[in-house]
Amino acid sequence: MPPKLTILCLAFNQAAFLSQTLEGFVSQKTNFPYEAIVADDCSTDGSAAIILEYARIYPRIIRPVLRERNLGIQKNLTETFSLAQSEYVALCEGDDYWTDPEKLQSQVNHLETHPGDALCFHYTTLQYEDGGRTGESSIYPAGLPHQPPLFLEDLLLGNFMHTASVVYRWRFRSEKLREALPPDILPLDWFLHLLHAERGSIGFIPRNMAVYRRHAGGCWWDENQGEFLRKNGPAQIRCYQAVRRHFGFHGETLDILLYCCLLSFTLAGDRERLRETCALYTEIYQKTLQREDAERRSPAFNAAVRKLLEKILDGLAARNKEEQMLSILELYARAYSGLNGLVEEDEAGRRHFFLLHRDLRRKIKTQRQDRTNGRTC
């Protein structure tokens, strides 16, 4: 009998956690057949051997996919998820785990008694296992936008579902996943949630049935924000850009993320990431720069960006990093004149930064001349 539900699990160098993950799969108590496709992306730590051992013991449940070369997160996900042809799909990454043997049965029961729901989720424990917060834990989500059911419009404002908590009414039995997912985006799970929420409402089961580990080897480890942005920032920008394009949603998260990346990459002297982000910036705001949707910019947003920029500039000034300050201001001035400067209420802010930019250029020019004169004496 074909599986009614497929568990999709991606693994890469997660041998320390993988046995607990797989135990959560094989311990599920259901009245329907299910399978777990576990795709190892050419790990070097023995993850593949763990998967094969579970497949030997539980051949009707564990379906191993072992990559001969590393594909990367998105390609491994797309190729693995495209294998699922069941009515329902559950997700769990190789370093997370389920804590309730009735999880899958509960979620399938919910979807079958709520035909208008396209997906459902539950509470998850967020558990820190590295860094300064080791041992801390909390419940995710801390709160919901409103009483269930929830809708696409709620999810567009921000993700409130962890990957290990979701079961989809799988829409890609009849559609091609490769055509639906934009290239090189993060977070992929949120975009998948959104694609399913297009098809119906979002159900919620108020039980805690999974653990999401936060550790230094994880994709979303963010103890060092600068390093986190350098690692994931451009992919996040592309994701929010894709959300705007596909769903027509224009929230302020993309604006703030762009500014944070521009400032962070300039501060770190990461020219490659800076060029990549500037190219994305130009692409995303081409219409805005042509004054076609200037009404989307709000004075409140301008004030928030100005406050953020002042904080970064103050930190650089205290360290006498005038050259980096100038780089930031040049980027900002170029964007501000074409984008945020279109809002009349923020004319004073725009003038403030242009004057700061002018004065800083004069200061650096003088310093360079002084250094040159010192060498020729």
Sequential DSSP letters for 146-179: SSSSB-HHHHHT-----GGG-EEE-GGGTS-HHH
Percentage above 70 pLDDT, the chain: 69
CA atoms within 13 A on the CB side of 289: 12
Per-residue pLDDT of the chain (377 residues; tens, 9 = 90+): 899 999 999 999 999 999 999 999 999 999 999 999 999 999 999 999 999 999 999 999 999 999 999 999 999 999 999 999 999 999 999 999 999 999 999 999 999 999 999 999 999 999 887 656 666 788 999 999 899 999 999 999 889 999 999 999 999 999 999 999 999 998 999 999 999 999 999 999 999 999 998 866 665 555 556 677 777 888 888 999 899 899 988 776 777 677 677 767 766 767 788 778 777 776 776 554 444 344 445 555 455 555 555 655 665 565 566 666 665 566 555 544 443 433 344 455 556 656 666 666 676 667 667 766 765 55
Looking at residue 21, its pLDDT comes to: 98
Going from the N-terminus, what domains does the chain have, and what CATH number goes with each?
5-214 (3.90.550.10), 225-376 (no CATH)
DSSP 31: S
Whether cis (ω within 30° of 0) applies to the bond prior to 141 is yes
Q: Which two tokens stand for residue 100?
A: 């309730």
pLDDT tens for residues 226-272?
Answer: 677 777 888 888 999 899 899 988 776 777 677 677 767 766 767 78
Looking at residue 56, its pLDDT comes to: 98
Looking at residue 343, its pLDDT comes to: 36
Q: CB neighbours of 109 closer than 8 A, spacing ≥ 6?
A: none
Q: Which two tokens stand for residue 251?
A: 């929230």
pLDDT tens for residues 63-96?
Answer: 999 999 999 999 999 999 999 999 999 999 999 9
Which helix H or strand E contains 127, and what residues bound it?
Answer: strand 117-128
> Could you tell me which of 162, 94, 166 has the C-alpha nearest to residue 125?
162
In whole angstroms, what is the distance from residue 222 CA to residue 170 CA?
31
